[in-house]
């Protein structure tokens, strides 16, 4: 960590800023706010979610980031239980397949998987509402933080339009490391180096909505839910309409691209990427199979979809009050992101009682 003359201590009611309303930033902000700290959360997007966000189309809502998630850690299990009770997450017992040149094979394991209900972003929306119900919290969306300034009172944040926020005793950055780098590079060499050390890979995420159900495939259960493929472009197709709470939706498919294909094709126009992912999906069906009428097709470019390698530390902070969390610091899953934010908050809180 970078050396600093003042040791970081946080105790209520001191003010902390959290940048990023993805699952890691929300988990961190919630733990800090529960202990009475004054927490201000900022996100550049219109709402919470980050890579757990969902795409609302007139006919259906599709998950274009995380498709489902697993639970291993008991602390995360507790949070998921609470989400289930609140009705924003549910078990999704997916019928999983793997498609190759020799056809479709079942690809099930004994891992329980959960999905957001009725969309993945219902979870982060629930987390944001729980946070905003705590005293001394503010949530600001459509607020892209562009720079920090350090004053004698603490950290000031400056947004893209020049508005300033603060002062804050500490600033948590939960944006993916390449985006976090731009914010911390002028202030902390160690945190900047850690961000540089965590490159992210991009990923195209397409969607296709059909007017009627997909045709059956011989030897495959009619209610199959996901198929992983070895196709050069397409990694995973997921039937959104089979997820909890989406029973009224027409047939809607998320089409996640292979990372290597995304690396090469990240600058494609989105309609071209969408068309290529749809062609790859069509190729999973026996020759000559006509798919139902397509009523919507598109693709979203995630420039920072997942860390190139799993991180070794759950989070990082410096004595001068800058901190980093997010999935990159632990792994590449929803659970990793949540744990990173949760553990950072508790590490910062532990400092205040020493």
Ligand X SMILES: Cc1cc2nc3c(=O)[nH]c(=O)nc-3n(C[C@H](O)[C@H](O)[C@H](O)COP(=O)(O)OP(=O)(O)OC[C@H]3O[C@@H](n4cnc5c(N)ncnc54)[C@H](O)[C@@H]3O)c2cc1C
Neighbouring CB atoms inside 10 A of 323's CB total 24
Which residue's CB is nearer to ligand X, number 12 or number 146? 146
- 3 state SS of 307: strand
Per DSSP, the residues of 190-237 read HHHHHHHT--EEEEEEEEEEESSPPPP-TTS-TT--EEEE--SSEEEE
Binding flag, residue 256, ligand X (CB under 6 A) = yes
State in angstroms the smallest separation of the CB of 202 from ligand X.
9
Binding of ligand X at residue 69 (CB under 6 A)?
yes
Among 19, 99, 209, 344, binds ligand X (CB under 6 A): 19
Q: What is the nearest approach in angstroms of ligand X to the Cβ of residue 26?
A: 7
What distance in Å separates the CA atoms of residue 283 and residue 71, rounded to the nearest whole number? 33
| CB 145 within 8 Å of CB 296 | no
Q: Interface with ligand X includes 234 (CB under 6 A)?
A: no
Cβ 175 to ligand X shortest distance, Å: 3
Structure tokens given for 169? 């005793």
24 is a contact residue toward ligand X (CB under 6 A) = yes
Which residues, 6+ apart, have CB-to-CB distance to 234 below 8 Å?
255, 256, 257, 258, 277, 280, 281, 284
Among 10, 23, 37, 299, binds ligand X (CB under 6 A): 23
Residue 65 interacts with ligand X (CB under 6 A)? Answer: yes
List 94, 145, 227, 268, residue binding ligand X (CB under 6 A): 145
Pick the binder of ligand X from 39, 66, 233, 299 (CB under 6 A). 66
Interaction between residue 67 and ligand X (CB under 6 A): yes
Candidates 52, 195, 217, 323: give the one binding ligand X (CB under 6 A).
Answer: 52
Nearest approach, Cβ of 84 to ligand X (angstroms)?
16
329/306 Cα distance (integer angstroms): 11
Site for ligand X in 158-177 (CB under 6 A): 174-176
Does 323 engage in binding with ligand X (CB under 6 A)?
no
Q: How is residue 122 written in tokens? A: 């219902």
Q: Which of 43, 188, 251, 343 binds ligand X (CB under 6 A)?
A: 43
Q: Which of 31, 188, 327, 343 is close enough to bind ligand X by CB under 6 A?
A: 327
Asked if 40 interacts with ligand X (CB under 6 A), we say: no
Per DSSP, helices labelled H in the chain are 23-34, 74-86, 121-132, 177-184, 189-196, 259-265, 270-282, 334-352
Kindly state the smallest distance separating residue 337's Cβ from ligand X, in Å. 3
Q: Cα separation of 283 and 278, whole Å?
A: 9
In whole angstroms, the minimum distance from the beta carbon of 329 to ligand X comes to 8
The verdict on 240 binding ligand X (CB under 6 A) reads: no
Q: What phi and psi, each to the nearest 5 degrees, are found at residue 267?
A: -90, 5
Give the helix/strand (H/E) hosting 114: strand 114-116
Contact between 326 and ligand X per CB under 6 A: yes
Cα separation, 88 vs 80, in Å, equals 9
Contact status, residue 80 vs residue 90, Cβ threshold 8 Å: no
Given the rule CB under 6 A, which residues bind ligand X? Answer: 19-25, 42-45, 50-52, 65-69, 144-145, 174-176, 179, 203, 205, 256, 302, 305-306, 326-327, 332-334, 337
């Amino acid at each position: 960590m970078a050396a600093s003359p003042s040791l970081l201590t946080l105790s209520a009611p001191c003010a902390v800023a959290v940048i990023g309303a993805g699952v890691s930033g929300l988990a961190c902000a919630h733990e800090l706010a529960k202990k009475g700290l004054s927490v201000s959360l900022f996100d550049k997007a219109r709402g919470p979610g980050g890579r757990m966000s969902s795409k609302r189309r007139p006919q259906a809502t599709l998950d274009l980031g995380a498709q489902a998630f697993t639970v291993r850690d008991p602390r995360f299990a507790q949070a998921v239980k609470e989400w289930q009770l609140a009705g924003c997450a549910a078990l999704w017992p997916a019928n999983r397949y793997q498609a190759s040149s020799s056809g479709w094979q079942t690809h099930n394991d004994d891992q329980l998987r959960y999905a957001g209900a009725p969309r993945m972003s219902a979870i982060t929306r629930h987390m944001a509402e729980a946070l905003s119900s705590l005293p001394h919290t503010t949530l600001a969306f459509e607020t892209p933080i562009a720079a920090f300034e350090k004053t004698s009172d603490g950290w000031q944040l400056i947004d893209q339009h020049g508005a300033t926020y603060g002062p804050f005793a500490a600033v948590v950055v939960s944006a993916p490391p390449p985006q976090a780098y731009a914010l911390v590079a002028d202030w902390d060499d160690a945190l900047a180096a850690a961000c540089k050390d965590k490159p992210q890979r991009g990923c195209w995420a397409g969607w296709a909505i059909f007017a009627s159900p997909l045709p059956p495939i011989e030897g495959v259960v009619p209610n199959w839910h996901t198929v992983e493929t070895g196709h050069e472009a397409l990694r995973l197709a997921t039937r959104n309409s089979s997820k909890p709470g989406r029973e009224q939706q027409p047939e809607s498919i998320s089409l996640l691209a292979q990372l290597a294909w995304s690396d090469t094709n990240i600058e494609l126009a989105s309609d071209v990427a969408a068309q290529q992912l749809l062609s790859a999906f069509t190729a999973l069906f026996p020759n000559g199979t006509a798919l139902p009428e397509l009523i919507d097709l598109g693709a979203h470019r995630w420039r920072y979809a997942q860390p190139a390698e799993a991180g070794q530390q759950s989070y990082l902070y410096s004595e001068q009050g800058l901190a980093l969390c997010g999935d990159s610091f632990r792994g590449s899953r929803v659970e990793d992101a949540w744990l990173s934010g949760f553990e950072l908050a508790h590490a910062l809180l532990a400092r205040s009682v020493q």
